[in-house]
Structure 1
C-alpha cells in the first residue's frame, strides 16, 4: 500500500510538471491580450469558480489555518515573480528559480527534519545545472537592465515556493488535499482580482480589463491556466507532498523547463539546439537520481555477499 501511494505520488509530480511546462505557451498567448496582473486575476477567478462547491464543506477555522500556505503560493510567489521580472532579466530569474529545490532541501532539513543523502545532493545539483545550462545558453545577457531589487523580488518568489512545499508537506497530514487546493485558489482570486480591480479603478480604464474576453485564444488560455495549470497542478502537488519528501517533489519542477522546450519545438516550431539536449539529459538524470533510495546506491559489504 505504501509503495503504491508513492508510485501515485511520483506520477502526480510528473503530470504536474507536464501541465506547467505547457502553460508557458498559454501564458504567451494570454499576455498578448492582457497585462500580467489582469492575466493573474482572470486565471485565479477561473480556478476559484471551478472549485467553489468546496466552500460548502470547508469550516472557517480550516480556512484560517490554511491561509498562510496560500499566502506563500500563489500569493507571494506570483506577486514577487511578476514584479521581479519587470526589473530582472529572464535568464537571471530562470537561474534563481532553478535553485528552488536547494532552498526546499535546506528548509526541509530545518523544519521537517528531512535529511538527504550525499548522492541526493549531487543529483539535485545535476538537475539545477541542467536548467542553468539551458537558461544561460539562450544568450540573454545577465545583468542587462537588471537591478538588485528585481533580483531580490525573484529570490523572494523562489523562497516562497520552497516555503510552500514545506508547509504543504506539514499541513497535508492534518487537512485534505481538496481543502488545501480550494484555499489556494480562493486567496489567488482575492489577491490578484483585488489588485486588478484597484488598478483599473484608479486608472479608469475598465475597457482594457474586459476587452480580452472577446478573444477566443485568451479564453482558451485562461481555462488552461486557471483550471489545469493552477487548480489541477495545486491538487497534484499537494497530493504528492502528502506522500513524498518535500525536496524530492521540488526537483520534479525542473522537468517543466524541459517540457516547455519540447512544447516550443512541437507547437511553435522553435529550433532544438544541442544545449537543450544537454540540459534535458542533466535534468532527467538529476530527477531520476533523487528518486533512487540512498540504500540502493551503497555498495554491499563483502560480508553481505
Structure 2
C-alpha cells in the first residue's frame, strides 16, 4: 500500500514537472531550434544521471542483451515521441496537437489490456472517458487557432501519442528485469546521442546556420536548459520509471490526464494569466472523477 501511494506521488510530481516544462521550452526556443534544444537538454540530463549512477548501485547497460531489451524504451521515448511531435507541430496547430495528445491515456488503457493483459475496472474505464472529455473541453475552449487540415501533420502527431503510450507499456515489461536507474540511464543516453547527431546533421546539410554553441552564451537559455535537462528530462523520467515498477500501466495513463491542469496553474501562478470559467469547468470534469475513484478504491482496500 505504501509503495502504491509513493508511486501515485511520483506520478503527480512527474506530471507537475512536465506541465511546467512548456514554459521553459518556449523560452529556450527563442535561442535555439527544437533539435538543438533537445540535444542540449539531454546532454545535461545524461551528465546528471551518470553522476547519480556513480553513487547508486546499478547493473551494466552495455551488454548486447541489455541493449536489445532497452532499445525499444529509448526509441519510443524520448526519440520517436519528441521527433514526431516536433515535426507535427510545424504542420498543425497546438489545438489539434492537444486534442490528439489527449488520446494518450486511452491508448495506454487499450494497449495495457491487449499487451499486458491488465483488467481495469469498469469504474476506471468510465473515469478515463470522463477525464478525456475534460481534457478535450479544455483544449477546444483554450485555442482559437484555425488552419487547413494536414493529414501528414495529424498522422505524425498521432504516432507521437502512440509512441508515448508504447513507452509506458514497454517500460512496464522492461521493469521486470531492470531497475529504475538503469532504464533512465539508457533512455537519456540514447536520446542525447540521437538528438545531438540530428542537431549536427542539420548544420552539415545547411538546414541550420546558427552555431550549435551560440545559444549557450545566454543566461536565460541556461536556466531553461537546466530545468528541462535536470528536472523535465532526468527527474520526470526517473519518477515515471519508478512509478511503472509499482502501479499498472492503465493507472499511469489515468493520471496523465492531470497534465493540462498543471499547465493551466502554471499560466495563472507563474505567468500571471487570469483563470477563466471554462478552465475551472474543465479542471472539475477531470479532477472530480479521478479523486472520487481513488477515494472509493482506498475505502474498499481498508475493508
Aligned partner of residue 90 in structure 2, secondary structure: helix
> 2:136 matched to 1:132?
yes
Structure 1 or 2: more helix by fraction: 1
Match of 1:78 in 2: 82
Q: Aligned pair count? A: 295
Alpha-carbon offset, residue 287 of structure 1: 2.9
CA distance in 2, matches of 1:192, 1:96: 24
Aligned partner of residue 244 in structure 1, secondary structure: coil
Pick from 4, 7, 15 the counterpart of residue 6 of structure 1. 4
Asked if structure 1 preserves the Cα contact closer than 8 Å seen for 2:69 and 2:174, the reply is: no
Match of 1:147 in 2: 150
Gaps in structure 1 of 5+ consecutive residues: 301-305
Deviations 1:140-189 (A, max 9, x none): 245x1340000000000101111111111111111101000001001110
The change in CA–CA distance for 1:292 and 1:111 in structure 2 (over 3 A counts) is: farther
Aligned partner of residue 7 in structure 1, secondary structure: helix
Alpha-carbon offset, residue 288 of structure 1: 2.5
Q: Aligned ranges for residues 211-250 of structure 1 at < 5 Å?
A: 211-250=214-253
> 2:97 matched to 1:93?
yes
Alpha-carbon offset, residue 291 of structure 1: 3.7
Asked if structure 2 preserves the Cα contact closer than 8 Å seen for 1:84 and 1:153, the reply is: yes
Match of 1:264 in 2: 267
TM-score relative to the length of structure 1: 0.91
Gaps in structure 2 of 5+ consecutive residues: none
Match of 2:31 in 1: 33
Aligned partner of residue 252 in structure 1, secondary structure: helix
Deviations 1:76-123 (A, max 9, x none): 111101101111111111011111010001100111100112211111
Pick from 76, 96, 107 the counterpart of residue 103 of structure 1. 107
CA distance in 2, matches of 1:218, 1:151: 30
The alignment yields a C-alpha RMSD, in angstroms, of 2.0
> 2:67 matched to 1:63?
yes
Segments ≥4 residues shifted beyond 3 Å: 53-59, 204-208, 289-297
Aligned partner of residue 261 in structure 2, secondary structure: helix
Alpha-carbon offset, residue 57 of structure 1: 4.2
